[in-house]
Structure 1
Amino acid sequence: MEWVETTGRSVEEAMTAALDLLGVDESEIDFEVLEEPKTGMFGRTKREARIRVRVKPNIPRSKDAARRTRRRRERPGGSSERTSTSNERPTASNSSTHTSSNGRGRSEAASINNEKNNYEKSDVVEERETPAREVSNERNGRRVPTKMTEEDYQDEVEEAIPLVDQAGAAQEFLAGLMREFHIPGQISVSSMEDDQISIDITGDANFGLLIGPKGLVMASVQELARASVQNRFRRANARINVDIAGFRERRRTSLEAFAISVANQVKVSDRQKALEAMNSSDRKIVHDVLNDMEGIFTRSEGREPRRYVVVSPRPWESNGDSEDFDRDRDR
């Protein structure tokens, strides 16, 4: 049997693929691990496992054993199955030879001998194929208990993942990220409530690399932490907020002051102003601080990631535009 190579995210996965391909049980194969799997920085598969597998060769029977088996089949006192066959074939052969008078007897006898050889070959094939089917059934029987029933699946779906487990997974990911960037710091969970997890990263190090301009890198780190938790827990549904070195509070204070300044300019000029593109969190800060400001109205326009806030003079209450604008706000 020739070697067959398969790959997978793990050696076990590659082995399962090989067994499915060959249709045999694990006890009937020889295998070698050619390459071990290798993972990247964020737990993603950098290199798959690679193995080669073959079915264990069968030891051929000796010629003497094959002859003895053939003689035993041809004896009248053999097994009941062979006896019935041998009793039927000579009868057909004798009748054909006896009724032939112009040489047809030899041809019919030769055809019967060929038919006999075909019978013997088909018996050998059946003897070889039957163990393969039995092994396949054994594999199926071994795998059936591992399949999840509908009732087990419903129980698993209904089971909720505790927030503390999701927070721990997020902390573990952030710790690995900071370790890869060689940035020391402390990671703590500040709050866990209403399916929201707030995580603070503090320390004396320079966190500019993790924050980025206007917090864009920090937003990406937060998204990666959320994706990592969802990869570990299929039913993770918590919102994860990551704050690094108190950047969010400083950003909020700065945005509120900037929004009030722009609103005052709009009041004086009586002309609307469009702010630069912001993420949804920053846009919400602008909406919240100017929501109750007299004579000012805000709305969001554009598409992500270039969505921005427009600050305009508040329309007259008699005009129905105000109600329509409220639907465009980032809440």
Structure 2
Amino acid sequence: MEWVETTGRTVEEAKDAALDRLGVDERDAEFDVVEEARSGLFGRVRQEARVRARVRPDQPRPRVDRRDRRRRGAPAASDGDAGATTPENADASVEAKAETSGDRGRTKTPVAPSATRSRDDDDDVPGPSAAEIGEQARVFLDGLAEVFDVDAEAEVELLDDITVEARLTGDDLGLLIGPKGQTLAAVQDLTRAAVQHGPRRGARLRVDVGGYQQRRREALARFTNG
């Protein structure tokens, strides 16, 4: 088999060009590097590489197009791949799942009897007693004082059958009162939410911190009485 001579910017590029001309794989060819590539200034190629190549004499093969070899080298689908996912059956699977989901979405969910109760029904259920509300409020305010790291003690007074006042007494409680009692109002709402659950009828809860509410009531009474 006669030799072919090719050039390239590198030896590998020259070899690839020779393989294209011979139409064989690299393992079926033999090469002779005539000249190595040389680089000039700024990485420019000063001299291209030059190689000679031919088909190995002991294993001559007919000339074929390398592109045909690549196509023939691609693995063929086997019987085991029959169940592999393809774009067509993937779309069908998605559509089937969508239909199934739609059927599930149309299924009526049974409503529990308790869910049909109205707020009026809840109003008829008696809530905790004033004593129970007061004790829960006392425990909550003690915990709140501990969280805020203030020296205070919670106490409870039953004002009447349905009204209870929880008081937090101590020194330096301005942090829990806030400007114009805004923080105190938030503490009262928070305490009510913690101890009074739902709209059921029960005791009314008031919260005072450091006697702030009491002083306001006394000032209002003096103003009213003139």
Q: Give the TM-score band, short-chain normalised.
A: 0.3 to 0.5
Larger relative CO (CA 8 A, sep 6+): 1 or 2? 2
Structure with bigger gyration radius: 2
For normalisation by structure 2, the TM-score amounts to 0.43
